[in-house]
Structure 1
Amino acid sequence: MSVTTSPSPLRAPELTRAVRPEIQALRAGAVLLVLAFHVAPQGLPGGYIGVDVFFVISGYLITAHIARPLRAGTFTFGGFYARRAVRLLPAAMLVLLVTLVGTWLFVPRTLWPTFGEQISASAVYVENWVLAGNATNYSAPAAGVSPVQHFWSLSAEEQFYLAWPALLVLGQLIAVRVRRWRRAYLLVLGPLALASLAWSVYATAHEPASAYFATTTRAWEFAAGGLLWLVVHRLEVLPDRLLAAASWAGILLIGYAAFTFDAATPFPGWLAILPVLGTCLIIAARSPRARWSPSALMAWRPVQSTGDMSYALYLWHWPLIVLLPYAAGASLGLRGRALAVLVAVPLAYVTRRFVEVPVLAAYRPTGGSFWRRKSTVALAVVSAIAVVAVPAHAMNVRVEQEKADAWVALDAALAAPGPCFGAAAMAPGSGCAEPAAADPTAGVLPDPVIAESDDFGIEHAGCQIRGQVTAAVTCTFGAPGGTPVAIVGDSHAAQWTPALAKVASERGWQLTTYLRSGCPLSATPPAGGGATKQACAVWQGNVLDAVERGGYHYVFTSALSSTQYRGGDAVGGFVDAWQRIGASGAKVVVLRDNPDPTAAGIEATPVCVAERGAAACATAERTTLRPDPLVTAAQASPEVGVVDLTASFCASGTCPAVIGGVLVYHLNQHVTMTYMETLVPALDAAIESTLAAS
């Protein structure tokens, strides 16, 4: 069975004469949108919609590739999937293999588990579900972002390939009965498209992070392309001037979305209709001959050449953007990211010419024997598993053993801490000094490789809620039946819990927690819409009611100092909440937030320490100690106490990344549980002073 056009918009066309210049131009435009977004997201905040353009083209072409042989009686599942393997795997596995080697050579082992997991997932095309499960924010990449995160779209596309042939076979079976094959296919694909669109709208509103990557929320985009192929023949009779107008309208819709959408846009949802509709208009218009149509621009050789190697260019650009900073030992600015994309261009050309084209030629019916073509398929499949996935998994196994050894070392240190361990080194007159180690991680506990797991929220799963949960969920620590006290707030309140729990045990308190990620205690609902903020507002009301009825003597609270809930009414919201609590007889105590290394450009302190050493990851206090809105609110509430342990985090204007041999931060500005527990003496003394003053 011959193939007439490429089955995938993220891939350059297969070896064929029937090349559609407008589809090649769409490929070129879509990949350039994605590249521009990754290089300068502020300049083209909605460039991520290039992927949606790809999905529509894929749905259009793959429907043609399946439906035509189905109607001719020549379609086979084996032949279809063999062609997909030959077309997709060689270039993808080459890029993944190079990425794996680059990770091993340049990336700190703290990131090996994440990178290795995602390289393995990309090799078997389930990367989108890994990112959905991790609730990754595609539009807000931070330190530690995977070099294969862009494989999520390829994964969604391959999953589409798995389901689409079966659906069209079902349509063909229905066609035998109704004798109208287009109508039969519409009966199958139409309800699927509507159901997926409805789910996309719902999931985007309620689970935005995972909805972005899910195949179920994207299926309607592929289906839109398939439905277009079923009806496009009816548009061929339209006059050229109308088709030219439709083509320009499609370009304007895609451009409007690219320049006006951003990270805050609920996406995909119903707004994805704009780039999807724009793509459909351009494909439906084909190449109109009107003098003012965009056909000449689309047929321009550089545009067509970019479309030819769009698949390889898409594959190469993101690993280069992510890995080059590790290789260079410095972050990439705008020029650096642009340079990475420029390097991707010759790599894409070489991959297209010497990998994609020869493999496709070898598989073509006239390109070799039957067994040669089948062996090409088998080799591609084996390479996906053996050459990439297995080594990536082996790298994870190695790191897991290192993690086990690191936990043993940490437990041993905690069992017999020295006089200068952790926060004790910051005590006035301690005489402690930080060791200057040649090895960047020598003497650092927890070892950076396990720092991400040295977190209260992980250790006590269920105590810190998130998502759509609105109930006032509680956990208790300290002395059972003792004097009731509580701690309320977001993850920055949660991180104080290990130290406060030990203080509670020593003082005979029973500590109850009310903790929710990203949601400080306030009587003013968070500004803006979205299901998560709405759930936060409900939770705040439920918690205030519970705390008022709880009979607590003291209520401790803290929040991320750069919390998004800090608009004009933020301080008033904190004050109002505390007044309600104070009226119940409880004393409110604010725990001043810790310094924020991200303000100095350090998104992941463990990675920084592993790469550059502790001394290089220290930050200036004037930069990282952000103003705390809770402290501002406390200054307007004389009855509210403030505990400020800044002296345990910073000294002489510097906030170290490692204090007393203990790693201070694990994720962004969150404090490791180990360092928090070393703060117990300082926290107890500060609480005593605050309560005595009141």
Structure 2
Amino acid sequence: MPKPQDVVPRNATGTSTFALRSADPIGRTQPAKPSTAAREYRHDLDGLRGIAIALVVVFHVWMGRVSGGVDVFLVLSGFFFTSMLLRRAGGSGSIGVGQVLWRTARRLLPALTVVLATVVVATVVMRPYTQWGDITAQTLASAFYYQNWHLAYAQLDYAAPDPSVSPLQHLWSMSVQGQFYLAMLAVVALWVSVRRRLPAKPLHRCGFLALLTVVGAVSFWYAAEGSAQHQAWIYYDSGARAWELLVGALLATAAPWITVPPLLRTVLALLGVAGVLSCGLLIDGATRFPGPAALFPVAAAAALILSGMNAAATPQPLPNRILGMRAFTELGALGYALYLWHWPVLIFYLAEYGNLTPGIGGGLLVIATSLVLALATQRLIETPLRQPAVANGATRSTATPPRYNRGVGMLVSILGIGVLAAVFGWQAVLKANPSEPPALLDPVDYPGAATLLAGTVGPSERMRPSVFEGSKDAPKPTFDGCITPNRDVRSCTYGDETASHAIAVVGGSHSEHWLPALELLALEHHFRIVTFLKEGCPLTLSDEPSYALAPFPECHEWSTEILDLLAEQRPDWVFITATRPGSDDGDEVPPEFLDIWSALSDRGLNALAIRDTPWLRRDGVHYRATDCLANHGTPDSCGMDRALVLEPNNPAEQPASAYPNIFPLDLTDAVCRADRCRVVEGNVLIYRDEHHLTASYVRSLAPELGRQIGSITRWW
């Protein structure tokens, strides 16, 4: 997690691991304030880091939401790192790029290497081999500090594995921080080089401050615009996150000019503490950060930085003094390692016990385990490798023996090389043996749904698609870009493109995954398929539908535009989903779907409303069929009792009777047996993930889907 770089070492009393020296301004070799102010220790910021990491852990473990602690860390990272660079530039006139890179790597990489190695080993031991590819890819992304981009592209690349339960997902913030360090190091180094050629030294600091302000303003604008367009991408985007780090950098740059009256210091400190503590309760940052809502935690962190800035001659406000207490500063010193460990421990715990949340007892166990691992990492790995070498026979009372330090360094190096070799090797194996899903399966050997509908029994064949092929066995829009991840409206045509009759397939991925069967029917019976698809977005006129896990206003806006396009283009039929899984058991028609039915009726549009297929879940926890099968499961054991996931009758039948334009479709008996919804039928894998059907199985549903559509449309 964000970690201050190159700050004053622990003092003789052992009070603080990362005490801050305020920065000398660019263009000045002497501090603008007295030396006591220019070299003040900021124990309170160590404590702030400790509070923030505690909030991150607690909210992750028990509340399942973003606390704003990461945003506080980003502000602190920008403040500490920029302070260090400006101090070095102002003191010696040279930053020492190589030395900064080495010291930063020495602080960050050893603990990260140990955590990555542990996650890789735990994945091999505890996780099905179908997850190894994604975890090794994320290990590389984390090790080379591009994990945020890996996750961002996973959100946009609809064919990518879902990263939501990855034990390395939290390292996106480390990647953003690392990228900022490199960028800021380059900018300050360039600025130092340029300033030597400029005569007007008083303008140096002003120019640098103006540059950071402009870049920060652009980043904030980009984040605000992006949050309204595609939150899943913008959350991980370094450009959208830059403004949070630059707030800290601006404070570091302007520090010598800042004087805060005592009363205002107290007000800022109180507001800052209140903001940090309340942010996660008031705002779910996963759906709104780093847009304008992130001003809340960023402003709170900035207020606490300002409240104690240049305060050597006056007592710090009470909140700052409390944050500077030993308990908080020690937690802050442990913060980086604790952040690295808590998320993998939590995810492996949940995966092992199949729980959605750890509960009170499990959560305490997760936190205790994370603290023990963090403390061990700090004492045995971080501290020895941060200590400078003993020079000229000098002694250090708190130092570990140099031989031990060298041994730790060698061990971590070997561990890092081993992890990289293993993950590169597994990725090479996957690339050398690509798993492509079958284009078409022989219906004799692979009858699929015909086993349930007609009692067809095929020969004993290996399952297709395989557990490795399953995730890629998706409909065409997944790969050709015809399902949008953002606010864009995309329309594509499939089937008989010259036909006069048309069916518009509209909504999210659960409308999309019927396309392989519809394509076969379109070619046979000569009609066009026009798609209007958006990831995770059934048509809705609500910003916060009852079935949504998070607000998604862009879905409402997109749906409104699509309804207008449908009214303009007037397809013969609109193909939509009619049900969703119930909050507990069974399935239901959400009230928001009825609003869409009314909207279609108002526009004179008829709809084929298909009952959604059951989602794989146990006790509210979704799981992938491929993972279950790879983990010694069987088609039956990996399935679900039909009575738990589906109502006895189609829930759409009764409400649809009040809408003359809504015609329900139900293929449940072609997916589930009378008592059990299995994950394989007729040698064909039914699910490619937690709730989407494979294209291969959907093709086997074409005869039954065609029978029902034909009886409604009278086209054949």
* TM-score bucket (shorter structure): 0.7 to 0.9
1:533 corresponds in structure 2 to: 556
Task: Indicate how the Cα distance of structure 1 residues 325 and 276 shifts in structure 2: closer, same or farther if over 3 A, else same.
Answer: closer
- Cα displacement string for residues 613-633 of structure 1 (whole angstroms, at most 9, x for unaligned residues): 332222233332379776555
Q: Distance in 2 between matches of 1:232 and 1:427?
A: 75
Is 1:677 the equivalent of 2:699? yes
CA deviation after TM superposition for structure 1 residue 76, in Å:
1.0
Equivalent-residue separation in structure 2 for 1:88 and 1:516 (angstroms):
39
**Structure 2 residue aligned with 1:341:** 367
- Give the Cα separation in 1 of the matches to 2:98 and 2:412: 13
Number of the residue aligned with 1:421 = 447
Single out whichever of 637-646 and 302-311 deviates more from structure 2.
637-646
Q: In 1, Cα distance between the equivalents of 2:205 and 2:281?
A: 37
- The reply on whether 1:107 has 2:127 as its aligned counterpart is yes
Question: Are 1:486 and 2:503 an aligned pair?
Answer: yes
8 Å Cα contact 2:55/2:69 also seen in 1 = yes
Contact 1:523–1:574 (CA under 8 A) maintained in structure 2 = no
Cα distance change of structure 1 residues 308 and 374 upon mapping to structure 2, 3 Å threshold: closer
Separation of aligned partners in 1, 2:167 and 2:392: 38
SS of the equivalent of 1:414 reads: coil
Give the match's secondary structure for 1:100: helix
Q: Does 1:124 align with 2:150?
A: no
How far residue 95 of structure 1 moved from its aligned partner, in angstroms, is 0.8
**Residue 116 (structure 2) pairs with residue 96 (structure 1):** yes
Kept in 1: contact 2:222–2:240 (CA 8 A): yes
SS at match of 2:251: helix
8 Å contact kept, 2:227–2:234? yes
Q: Which residue of 2 aligns with 1:35?
A: 57
Find the counterpart in structure 1 of residue 469 from structure 2.
450
SS in 2 for 1:486: strand
- With over 3 angstroms needed to count, the CA separation of the structure-2 counterparts of 1:291 and 1:628, relative to structure 1, is farther
- Shift of the 635–290 alpha-carbon distance from structure 1 to 2, 3 Å rule, reads farther
Name the CA distance, whole Å, in 2 between partners of 1:278 and 1:263: 15
Contact 1:124 1:384 in 2 (8 A): no
8 A Cα contact 2:636 2:679, kept in partner: yes
Q: Please say if residues 543 and 555 of structure 2, whose CA atoms lie closer than 8 Å, have aligned partners that are also in contact.
A: no
Q: Which residue of 1 aligns with 2:278?
A: 256
Alpha-carbon distance in 1 for matches of 2:368, 2:459: 43
**What is the rounded CA distance, in whole Å, between the counterparts of 2:214 and 2:430 in structure 1?**
47
Residue 53 (structure 1) shift: 0.9
> Aligned with 2:468: secondary structure?
helix
Q: Which runs of 5+ in 1 are unaligned?
A: 436-441
Give the 3 Å change call, closer, same or farther, for CA 261–504 of structure 1 in structure 2: same
Q: Output the amino acid matched with 2:124.
A: W
Q: Is the 8 A contact 2:629 2:638 kept in 1?
A: yes
Alignment partner, residue 439 of structure 1: none
Matching residue's letter, 1:590: A
Paired position in structure 1 for 2:344 = 319
Amino acid at match of 2:83: A
Q: What is the one-letter code of the residue matched to 1:667?
A: D
Distance 1:324 1:365, change over 3 A: farther
Alignment of 1:352-363 (within 5 A): 352-362=378-388
Q: RMSD across aligned C-alpha pairs, in angstroms? A: 4.0
Q: Is the 8 A contact 2:686 2:694 kept in 1?
A: yes
CA distance in structure 2 between the partners assigned to 1:578 and 1:65 by the alignment: 64
Q: CA deviation at 1:545?
A: 1.5
Question: Structure 2: how far apart are the matches of 1:522 and 1:280?
Answer: 39
CA-CA distance at 1:67 after TM superposition: 0.9
Quote the Cα distance in structure 2 between the aligned partners of 1:256 and 1:522.
32
Q: 1:517 to 1:622 in 2, by over 3 A?
A: same
Paired position in structure 1 for 2:398: none
The Cα shift of 1:640 comes to 4.1
Matched residue, 1:619: 640
1:662 is displaced (CA, Å) by 2.2
User: Which residue among 190, 197, 206 is the counterpart of 2:220?
Assistant: 197
Distance 1:367 1:205 in 2: 61
Task: Measure the CA separation in 2 of the matches of 1:116 and 1:417.
Answer: 38
2:331 corresponds to which residue? Answer: 306
629-638 or 644-653, which deviates more: 629-638
SS in 1 for 2:63: coil
| C-alpha distance 650-76 of structure 1, shift in aligned 2 (>3 A) | same
CA contact (8 A) 1:99 1:147 kept: yes
Counterparts of 1:15 and 1:231, CA distance in 2: 15
Aligned to 1:24: 46
Q: What secondary structure is seen at the aligned counterpart in 1 of 2:612?
A: coil
Residues 6 and 61 of structure 1 are in contact (CA less than 8 Å); yes or no, is this contact kept in structure 2? no
Query: How many pairs were matched up?
Result: 660
Match of 2:622 among 588, 602, 609: 602
CA distance in 1, matches of 2:687, 2:609: 21
Distance 1:579 1:39, change over 3 A: same
CA distance in 2, matches of 1:278, 1:680: 57
Q: Is 1:658 the equivalent of 2:680?
A: yes
How far 1:570 moved relative to its partner?
3.7
CA distance in 2, matches of 1:269, 1:6: 35
Pick closer, same or farther for the CA change 1:237–1:529 going to 2, 3 Å: closer
> Which SS does the other structure have where 2:441 is aligned?
helix
More helix by share: 1
- Cα separation, 2, equivalents of 1:580 and 1:367: 87
Deviations 1:554-583 (A, max 9, x none): 55433563599987564143144146455x
Task: Give the TM-score normalised by the residue count of structure 2.
Answer: 0.82
Assess, with a 3 A threshold, how the Cα gap between structure 1 residues 329 and 109 changes in structure 2: closer, same or farther. Answer: same
Partner in structure 2 of residue 284 of structure 1: 306
| Aligned equivalents of 1:299, 1:421: Cα separation in 2 | 69
Residues 86 and 532 (structure 1), Cα distance of their counterparts in 2 relative to 1, 3 Å cut: same
Deviation at 1:683, TM superposition (A): 2.0
Tell me the equivalent position of 2:318.
Answer: 293
- 3-state DSSP of counterpart to 2:505: strand
- The CA deviation string for residues 498-519 of structure 1, in whole angstroms up to 9 with x for no partner, is 1122223333444444433344
Shift in CA distance, 692/214, structure 1 to aligned 2, threshold 3 Å: closer
In the TM superposition, residue 13 of structure 1 has moved relative to its aligned partner by 3.2
8 Å Cα contact 1:110/1:449 also seen in 2: yes
1:194-593 superposed matches below 5 A: 194-235=217-258, 238-239=261-262, 241-262=263-284, 265-286=287-308, 293-327=318-352, 333-334=358-359, 335-362=361-388, 386-401=417-432, 403-404=434-435, 407=437, 410=438, 414-415=441-442, 417-418=444-445, 421-427=447-453, 430=455, 443-457=462-476, 461-471=480-490, 473-477=491-495, 479=496, 481-482=498-499, 484-490=501-507, 491-520=509-538, 530-546=553-569, 548=570, 550=571, 552=572, 554-558=573-577, 561=580, 568=591, 570-578=593-601, 580-582=603-605, 588-593=607-612
TM-score after normalising by structure 1? 0.84
Q: How far is the alpha carbon of 1:346 from its aligned partner?
A: 1.0
AA aligned to 1:83 is: R
1:522–1:184 CA distance, 2 compared to 1 (3 A)? closer
Q: Structure 2 vs 1, CA of residues 393 and 229 (structure 1 numbering), >3 Å: closer, same or farther?
A: same
Aligned-residue offset at 1:386:
3.1
CA distance, structure 1, for counterparts of residue 453 and residue 244 of structure 2: 60
Contact kept? 2:504, 2:530, Cα under 8 Å: yes
Greater alpha carbon shift after TM alignment, 486-495 vs 172-181: 172-181
Q: Is the 8 A contact 1:488 1:513 kept in 2?
A: yes
Are residues 573 and 581 of structure 1, via their aligned partners in 2, closer, same or farther at CA, if it must alter by over 3 Å? same
Match of 1:168 among 166, 188, 197: 188
- Aligned residues with identical type, % of pairs: 26
Determine if contact 2:19/2:43 at 8 Å carries over to the other structure. no
Q: What residue in structure 1 maps to residue 32 of structure 2? A: none
